[in-house]
């Protein structure tokens, strides 16, 4: 069977088609991070005369992490809608398979996230001209963001398990994302141990280490601390941070699917 | 696929129960539905029809009891069952921001039908139900078009066993005819169909066999004719004669008919004749009359209906 006819791929393509038809959702999904990036640039950008680097470059990883957080809202809405419109129950009367629904939606959400990250990259690096070490490091940054995006989708599925309708889902997702983003110190500095428990902290910190602070792969991976500009210092080396992020991603996706399955078993 | 030739019972429902907290939505239903049969389940709103079908189509877990679809248990063999069945839900359920065509092709692909074939089938079937070539998103459809799209989505994979939950509710008479003809065509192909409806005309027009459901229980079960014979009460034939003398002649004739027990005179020249049994008895009365009487002024015939059956069994009307 052709790849494009695999059920999970058919579901992913259908999701993408629907998403692009409700352009308002895309506009508001992308609008906030773009807006914040531009506003903060206008407020804080300042070129260091010694290095020639714009200090705002240190804030870009946090901005991109924030943009990726919106995967939570998107996933929460998609899964809640399928549940509340009865589509999910209808799909259950066909040989669809829940695993194809989860896999297909993970694929489509990853594609939106990729799109979102690319838009943020273009804005930050091509248009606003922010500093980054090199293209390889940028690729690492991209992958870390995508991984964090999938983690966010997992949180979105958890939210969808409890939401009765789309309005509730997007409301819960937003009221969840904003405090977590602030508590993680990703967007504005937050000097507290709390950040370690916030997934966006790790995403931002790894991204920052690689694309701005770092100096070569080995130094990045084995540097004994993840010292961030205006963020708490930690004794965990960066590869530890990556493992923590991967573990958290699997955990949230797992919990999300388990909960959603449990809550939609009638 | 479908029911194997030797097995004549296709859907076997064994004491199925579903409680929602203190509401007994389905309260111990047992039924056998034969292969190739169009089985009508008739009952008022809230009788438990949808709850029953949701259990049979594997999305709702029964509180107790079981059912077998083509020998597969709805409790333990869901994966086998969903390959055999087509389900048309009561509410229109599709993706609002896809066109009719995109919705149906998507469903076909979920059934594993290759894309090219999905497209061909979809066009043919949308054509047949008069909603082909619409580039609008499904949410912009009229109520009738939505209902038909909902139906097509349950049939595109040509299932041998079909569950239709109120497939014509809210349709205008013309669209309803189209759907009725379509359902008859499906039945003609040897499919087994469970039709849920609160419309006694629909049940009567389409079903080979009818069960009447009320408060989660089956209260009668038989062919439409059997149900009307047993529980429908009497048909009434009202004849107005030209001459008073004919009334007397007719009364004499009626004495020779065993199934006519009594009659009422209404005015000088009108007879009201209640009788039981189907249309063949109606013909016998006419035959008996035409032996002696050449012409009458007027005749009215009121046949008992499934509405009467329901009324006689429950003391309520179906529509209440
Ligand atoms: N999810 C549910 N939760 C609580 N009660 C329900 C639920 N679904 C149906 N019911 C109740 O079960 C009864 C049967 O409903 P239903 O099966 O929809 O009847 P029908 O399809 O014959 O109109 C009704 O009293 C209805 O209110
Ligand atoms: Mg119903």
Phi-psi region of A41 (alpha: psi -120 to 50; beta: other; left: phi over 0): alpha
Pocket test for ligand 1, best of B51, B52, B169 (most atoms within 8 A of CB): B51
Sign of the four-CA dihedral A48, A54, A56, A57:
negative
The answer to the question of residue B4 being in a domain is no
Q: Report whether B318 contacts B44 (CB < 8 A).
A: yes
Q: Is B141 left (phi over 0), alpha (psi -120 to 50) or beta?
A: beta
Task: In whole angstroms, give the CA distance from residue A233 to residue A84.
Answer: 44
Helices A166-183 and A60-84 cross at an angle (nearest 10°) of: 160
Question: Using CA positions, which residue lies closest to atom 4 of ligand 1?
Answer: B20
Q: Same domain for B60 and B117?
A: yes
pLDDT digits (tens, 9 = 90+) for A172-223: 998 988 888 888 877 777 777 777 788 888 888 888 888 888 776 666 666 6
Q: What is the DSSP letter of A127?
A: I
Q: Which helix (H) or strand (E) holds B115?
A: helix B115-128
Q: Which of A250, A247, A62 is nearest to A154 (CA)?
A: A250
Examine the domain organization and report whether B204 and B278 are in the same domain. Answer: no
Cα–ligand 1 centroid distance for B310 (angstroms): 20
Minimal Cα distance from B117: which residue of A? Answer: A5
Ligand approaching nearest to the C-alpha of B59: 1
Q: Which of A15, A83, A94, A103 is the best residue to mutate to test the B interface, defined by the most B CB atoms within 10 Å of its own CB?
A: A94
Residue B40 C-alpha, separation from nearest chain A C-alpha, in angstroms? 21
Nearest to B207 by CA among B224, B191, B188, B221: B224
Out of B221, B255, B290, a domain closes at B221
- Strand, coil or helix: B116: helix
Tell me the percentage of chain A whose pLDDT exceeds 90. 48
What values do phi and psi take at A109, rounded to 5? -65, -35
- Phi then psi for B199, rounded to 5 degrees? -105, 110
* Ligand 1, CB cutoff 6 Å, lining residues: B 20, 23, 25, 43, 45-51
Stretch B251-261: mean pLDDT, rounded?
Answer: 87
What contacts B72, CB < 8 A, 6 or more positions away?
B80, B81, B84
Write the pLDDT tens digit of every residue in B278-298.
Answer: 788 889 999 988 888 888 898
B97 within some domain: yes
- Between CA A200 and CA A62 the distance in angstroms is 8
Structure tokens at B164: 């239709």
Q: Are strands B23-34 and B38-42 parallel, antiparallel or unpaired?
A: unpaired
For residue B319, tell me if it sits in a domain: no
pLDDT of A24 higher than 90? no
Cα(A56)–Cα(A47) distance, rounded to whole angstroms? 8
Residue length of chain B: 320
CATH number at residue B255: 3.30.70.920
Q: Does B269 share its domain with B128?
A: no
Ligand 1 pocket mutation, candidates B48, B163, B310, B319, criterion most atoms within 8 A of CB: B48
Structural domain containing residue B178: 9-221
ipTM: 0.87
- Interchain proximity A85–B93, CB inside 8 Å: yes
Q: How many CB atoms lie within 10 A of CB A233?
A: 9
Clarify whether residues B77 and B203 are in a common domain. Answer: yes
Q: Name the more confident of A51 and B75.
A: B75
Query: B188 and B274, same structural domain?
Result: no
Contact state of A89 with B59 under an 8 Å Cβ cutoff:
yes
Cα of first residue to Cα of last residue in chain B, in angstroms, is 40
Ligand 2 midpoint to CA B25 (Å): 11
CB–CB of B82 and A93 under 8 A? yes
Q: What is the pLDDT of residue B178?
A: 87
Task: Please say which residue of B221, B250, B278 terminates a domain.
Answer: B221
Q: Cβ–Cβ of B115/A87 closer than 8 Å?
A: no
pLDDT in tens, B122-141: 999 898 888 877 788 988 88
Q: Identify whether residues B116 and B23 lie together within a single domain.
A: yes
- Percentage of the residues of chain B whose pLDDT score is greater than 90: 50
Q: Min CA distance, A172 vs chain B (Å)?
A: 24
User: Does residue B165 belong to any structural domain of this protein?
Assistant: yes
The first and second tokens of residue B24, run together, are 């007994």
Q: A61 and A130 in contact (C-beta within 8 Å)?
A: no
**Contact at CB, A94 and B107, closer than 8 angstroms:** yes
Are B246 and B122 found together in one domain?
A: no
CB pair distance less than 8 Å for B79 and A95: yes
Number of Cβ within 10 Å of residue B261's Cβ equals 12
Task: Please indicate, yes or no, whether residues B245 and B196 belong to a single structural domain of this protein.
Answer: no
Task: State the DSSP string of B192-236.
Answer: EEEEEES-HHHHHHH-SEEEEEETTEEEEEE-HHHHHHHHS--EE
Scan residues 61-80 of B and list those with Cβ closer than 8 Å to A. Answer: 61, 79
- Cα–Cα distance, A71 to A170 (Å, whole number): 11
What integer pLDDT is reported at residue B314 of this predicted model? 81
What was the pLDDT predicted at B1? 47
pLDDT at A119 over 90: yes
Contact criterion met (CB below 8 Å) for A95 and B83: yes
Q: How far apart are CA A107 and CA A92, in angstroms?
A: 20
DSSP-derived pairing of the beta strands B298-302 and B235-240:
antiparallel
Find the angle CA(A98)-CA(A16)-CA(A95) to the nearest 5 degrees: 25
Are B188 and B132 in a shared domain? yes
**Whether residue A29 has pLDDT greater than 80:** no
Phi-psi region of B297 (alpha: psi -120 to 50; beta: other; left: phi over 0): alpha
B163 - beta bridge partners? Answer: B87, B194
Task: Report how many Cβ contacts below 8 Å link chain A to chain B.
Answer: 65
Quick check: B54 and A17 CB within 8 A?
Answer: no
Say if residue B54 is in the same domain as residue B141: yes
Which of the ligands is closest to the CA of residue B165? 2
CB distance A7–B79 less than 8 Å?
no
> Which CATH number belongs to the domain containing residue B36 in this structure?
3.40.50.300
Interatomic CA distance for residues A178 and A198, integer angstroms: 12
Contact between residue A9 and residue A110 where contact means Cβ atoms under 8 Å apart: no
B301 touches chain A (CB under 8 A): no
Q: Do B137 and A21 touch (CB under 8 A)?
A: yes
Put simply, whether A3 touches B (Cβ < 8 Å) is no
Backbone angles phi, psi at B266, to 5 degrees: -130, 105
- How close B18 gets to chain A, by Cα (Å)? 11
Report yes or no on B291 lying in a domain.
yes
Give the DSSP per-residue string, A182-243: HHTTSSS---SGGGGG-HHHHHHHHHHIIIII--SHHHHHH-S---BTTB---SS-HHHHHH
Give how many domains chain B has, as a whole number: 2
pLDDT at B101: 93
Task: State how far residue A65 is from chain B, nearest Cα, in angstroms.
Answer: 30
**Counting atoms of ligand 1 from 1, which one is nearest the CA of B165?**
21
* B141 and B260 within one domain: no
Within 8 A of A92 by CB-CB distance, chain B residues are 58-59, 82
| Closest ligand to residue A266's CA | 1
Instruction: Give the pLDDT score at A14.
Output: 95
Residue labelled with tokens 């009365």: B285
Chain B nearest-CA residue for A78: B95
At residue B264, the 3 state secondary structure works out as: strand
Residues B117 and B254 in one domain: no
Would B227 be classed as within a structural domain?
no
Q: What are the tokens at A255?
A: 């919990």
Measured from the Cβ of residue A19, the count of other Cβ atoms closer than 10 Å reads: 20
Domain spans, chain A: 3-263
- The string of pLDDT tens digits covering residues A121-147 is 999 999 988 888 889 889 999 999 999
pLDDT digits (tens, 9 = 90+) for B145-200: 899 999 999 999 999 999 999 999 888 888 888 889 989 998 888 899 999 999 88
Q: Round to whole Å and give the CA distance between B58 and B73.
A: 9
More reliable by pLDDT, B243 or A193:
B243
Strands B64-69 and B38-42: unpaired
Is residue B79 classed as helix, strand or coil in its secondary structure? helix
Which of these three, B188, B221, B254, is where a domain ends? B221
Pocket test for ligand 1, best of B25, B90, B194, B214 (most atoms within 8 A of CB): B25
Tell whether B59 is within 8 A of chain A (Cβ).
yes
Residues of B in Cβ contact (< 8 Å) with A88: none
């Amino acid at each position: 069977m052709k790849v494009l006819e695999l059920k999970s791929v058919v579901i992913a393509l259908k999701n993408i088609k629907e998403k692009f038809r409700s352009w308002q959702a895309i506009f508001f999904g992308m609008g906030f991070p773009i807006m914040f990036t531009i506003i903060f640039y206008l407020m804080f950008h300042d070129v260091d005369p010694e290095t020639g680097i714009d200090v705002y470059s240190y804030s870009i990883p946090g901005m991109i992490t924030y943009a990726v957080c919106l995967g939570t809202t998107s996933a929460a809405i998609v899964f809640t809608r399928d549940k509340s419109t009865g589509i999910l129950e209808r799909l259950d009367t066909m040989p669809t398979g829940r695993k194809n629904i989860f896999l297909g939606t993970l694929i489509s959400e990853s594609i939106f996230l990729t799109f979102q990250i690319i838009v943020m990259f273009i804005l930050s690096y091509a248009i606003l001209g922010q500093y980054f070490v090199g293209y390889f490091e940028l690729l690492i940054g991209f992958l870390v963001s995508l991984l964090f995006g999938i983690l966010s989708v997992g949180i979105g599925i958890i939210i969808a398990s409890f939401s009765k309708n789309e309005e509730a889902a997007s409301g819960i997702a937003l009221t969840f994302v904003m405090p977590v983003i602030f508590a993680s110190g990703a967007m504005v500095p937050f000097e507290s141990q709390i950040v370690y428990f916030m997934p966006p902290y790790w995403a931002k910190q790894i991204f920052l280490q690689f694309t701005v602070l770092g100096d070569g792969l080995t130094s990045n991976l084995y540097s004994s601390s993840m010292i961030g500009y205006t963020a708490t210092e930690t004794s965990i080396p960066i590869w530890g941070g990556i493992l923590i992020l991967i573990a958290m991603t699997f955990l949230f996706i797992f919990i999300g699917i388990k909960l959603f399955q449990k809550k939609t078993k009638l | 696929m479908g029911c194997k030739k030797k097995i004549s019972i296709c859907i076997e429902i064994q004491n199925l129960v579903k409680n929602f907290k203190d509401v007994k939505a389905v309260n111990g239903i047992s039924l056998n539905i034969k292969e190739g049969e169009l089985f009508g389940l008739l009952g008022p709103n809230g009788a438990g029809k949808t709850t029953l079908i949701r259990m049979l189509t594997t999305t709702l877990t029964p509180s107790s009891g079981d059912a077998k679809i083509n020998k597969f248990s709805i409790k333990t063999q869901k994966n086998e069952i969903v390959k055999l069945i087509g389900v048309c839900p009561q509410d229109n359920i599709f993706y609002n921001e896809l066109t009719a065509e995109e919705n149906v092709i998507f469903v076909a692909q979920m059934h594993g039908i290759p894309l090219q074939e999905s497209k061909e089938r979809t066009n043919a079937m949308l054509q047949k139900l008069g909603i082909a070539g619409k580039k609008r998103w499904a949410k912009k459809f009229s109520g009738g078009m939505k209902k038909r799209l909902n139906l097509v989505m349950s049939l595109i994979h040509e299932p041998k066993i079909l569950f239709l939950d109120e497939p014509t509710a809210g349709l205008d008479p013309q669209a309803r005819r189209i759907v009725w003809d379509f359902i008859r065509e499906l039945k003609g192909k040897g499919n087994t169909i469970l039709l849920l409806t609160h419309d006694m005309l629909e049940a009567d027009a389409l079903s080979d066999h009818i069960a009447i459901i009320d408060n989660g229980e089956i209260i009668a079960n038989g062919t439409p004719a059997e149900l009307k014979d047993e529980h429908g009460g009497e048909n009434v034939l009202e004849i107005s004669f030209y001459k008073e003398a004919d009334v007397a002649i007719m009364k004499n004739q009626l004495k020779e008919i065993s199934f006519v027990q009594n009659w009422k005179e209404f005015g000088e020249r009108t007879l009201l004749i209640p009788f039981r049994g189907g249309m063949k008895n109606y013909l016998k009365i006419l035959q008996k009359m035409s032996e002696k009487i050449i012409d009458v002024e007027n005749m009215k015939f009121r046949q008992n209906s499934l509405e009467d059956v329901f009324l006689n069994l429950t003391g309520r009307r179906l529509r209440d």
